[in-house]
Amino acid sequence: MFRQPEVKRWMKDNNLSINEKLTVRNAIHLLIEEDLDEVPITKNNRIIGVLQLKHYFQALKNGKFSETDVVTMWMSHSFHTINYQATMDKIDQTPVYVIDDEQRMLGVIDNQVLHAYYQQKQEENIALEETIRWYELSFDTAYEGLTVVDKNGIIRIFNEAYSRYVGVSREDAIGRKVDTVIEGTRLPVVLKTGVPERSQAHRLQGHHLVVHRLPIWKDNEVIGAVGILLYEGVSEIYQVIERMEQLDRGIKYVQQKLDTTTETRIEDKVRFEDILGDSPIISRTKQLAIRASQTKATVLISGESGVGKEQFANAIHDMGITSDGKFVSVNCAAIPENLIESELFGYEDGAFTGAKPGGKIGKFELANGGTLFLDEIGEMSLPIQAKILRVLQERKVQRIGGDDTIPIDIRIIAATNKNLKQMVTEGDFREDLYYRLYVIPIDIPPLRERKEDIPLMVAHKLRSLSKQYNMKEKTIDKTFLSKFHQYDWPGNVRELMNVLERLFILSDDQHILFATYENILFPENEVMPPDLVTPYQNRNKKIKDSLIEDEKRVILTALEKTNGNKSEAAKLLNISRATLYNKLTKLKLN
Average pLDDT over residues 106-126: 86
Task: In the chain, count H helices and then E strands.
Answer: 21, 24
Query: What is the pLDDT at residue 522?
Result: 52
Average pLDDT over residues 131-158: 82
459 neighbors 508 (Cβ within 8 angstroms): no
536 neighbors 528 (Cβ within 8 angstroms): no
Query: What is the pLDDT at residue 535?
Result: 40
pLDDT band at residue 223 using 50, 70 and 90 as cut-offs: very high
pLDDT band at residue 366 using 50, 70 and 90 as cut-offs: very high
Return the higher-pLDDT residue of 258 and 432.
432
Query: What is the pLDDT at residue 206?
Result: 65
Is residue 402 predicted with pLDDT exceeding 50?
A: yes
Can you tell me the distance from the alpha carbon of 313 to that of 298, in angstroms, rounded to the nearest whole number?
11
Distance set, CA 351 to CA 324, 340, 385, 386 (Å): 32, 15, 21, 21
Query: What is the pLDDT at residue 541?
Result: 47
- Pick the range with the lowest mean pLDDT from 124-128, 168-172, 373-377: 124-128
Q: Which tens digit of pLDDT belongs to each residue from 522-535?
A: 544 343 354 454 44
Can you tell me the distance from the alpha carbon of 218 to that of 478, in angstroms, rounded to the nearest whole number?
13
423 neighbors 433 (Cβ within 8 angstroms): no
User: Which structural domains are found in the chain, ordered by start?
Assistant: 7-117 (3.10.580.10), 142-267 (3.30.450.20), 274-443 (3.40.50.300), 447-538 (1.10.8.60), 541-586 (1.10.10.60)
Is residue 542 predicted with pLDDT exceeding 50?
A: no
Residues 6+ apart with CB under 8 A from 186: 197, 200, 202, 213
List strands edge to edge, sheet with 38-43. 18-19, 38-43, 46-52
Mean model confidence pLDDT for the chain: 82
Average pLDDT over residues 159-177: 86
Q: Which tens digit of pLDDT belongs to each residue from 472-501?
A: 889 888 888 888 988 899 999 999 999 999
Average pLDDT over residues 305-318: 94
- Beta-bridge partner residues of 19: 42
Reduced to 3 states, what is the DSSP secondary structure of residue 230?
Answer: strand
Q: Which tens digit of pLDDT belongs to each residue from 568-588?
A: 887 777 677 777 777 787 777
Reduced to 3 states, what is the DSSP secondary structure of residue 462?
Answer: helix
Can you tell me the distance from the alpha carbon of 80 to that of 94, in angstroms, rounded to the nearest whole number?
8
Can you tell me the distance from the alpha carbon of 342 to that of 364, in angstroms, rounded to the nearest whole number?
11
Query: What is the pLDDT at residue 438?
Result: 94
Reduced to 3 states, what is the DSSP secondary structure of residue 215?
Answer: strand
- Pick the range with the lowest mean pLDDT from 60-64, 82-86, 90-94, 149-153: 60-64
Return the higher-pLDDT residue of 293 and 68.
293
Long-range contacts of residues 430-434, Cβ cutoff 8 Å, at least 24 apart: 430/382, 430/385, 430/386, 430/389, 432/389, 433/385, 433/386, 433/388, 433/389, 433/392
Sign of the C-alpha dihedral computed for residues 440, 446, 449 and 454 taken in this order: positive
Work out the number of other CB atoms within 10 angstroms of the CB of residue 582: 19
